[in-house]
Structure 1
């Protein structure tokens, strides 16, 4: 078990995924500054109930309730363009399970977490190669639009022959409900994750 700061968000971060964030709340400015200085990750968990931003003095705001499976986020770039504002880019690392959590006085959540096994590298089977090929075409389309590296939604390096990588990238890009994305993240089998993505792509 490890105690880590938690960042509840209205999104699901997958291993290998890119997550740009704009930080302005005091509880997260301090946490992100510490993680950046020490080279430490923080945990991203998906909100079930409540908002991402807490307003000072708003006692009627819905309490934050979040999923117990999340992903470690490591800061890959950081800037502070003005006092009280940080812009960071993060990359998703290992999945974890929250075994217990507590809220500190200034509103930051910390959790006792157990890191989950990383996805095994599983080659995309022949019957699902078309899913990887569709993703490759989408990447080429985005690259052709001359999107700057800072705006590109997919972190490098690409691994189009790996079930987990392909499934995770589709999970981020497709307009899936947050609950469905969370269910995909919770699956231990990258092959099963890719099979479910293939079923969804066939439907749309």
Structure 2
């Protein structure tokens, strides 16, 4: 089994990465493969509702989002992490997730996210972690992805990685997140082995507030 951890910070080795490293080390200690994927330092724009993904089965803008898609297909679980900017998750991660999630499963392409456990991680110098945490979690609940929790909100504090190293409680929370993710993956694996089917889907109907 494998978990992909997405570093949505413009700083490859900053506080967000340090938090994800703690989760990754714990997963590996639990026998789960872990890989950290950095989205890079260039700004990543969000979805522009061009409709291209409905024809292509991927985002029409061929950048880091499409680079990540095959890795997501091979993953069994995810952790998306971001620093706090203006009391919300860093815009590049939100843009990355906008396009990854919206284009997922379009034009007959495989749905690489559904029913895979996911967790959010936020890092901050001081405040805004809970609102950033909420930003990221909303993607999972619309995509039918089980949300993995820890023993506290999944956040760490520190302006740089060296300061995050001093956040003993935050790193403790990251380790418990890794253990909880490993546990959920094993539970899902046991369910599949026991023949537990995936939930039935219905076509449903979209209703607009204004007609």
TM-score normalised by length of structure 2: 0.27
Higher helix share: 2
TM-score normalised by length of structure 1: 0.28
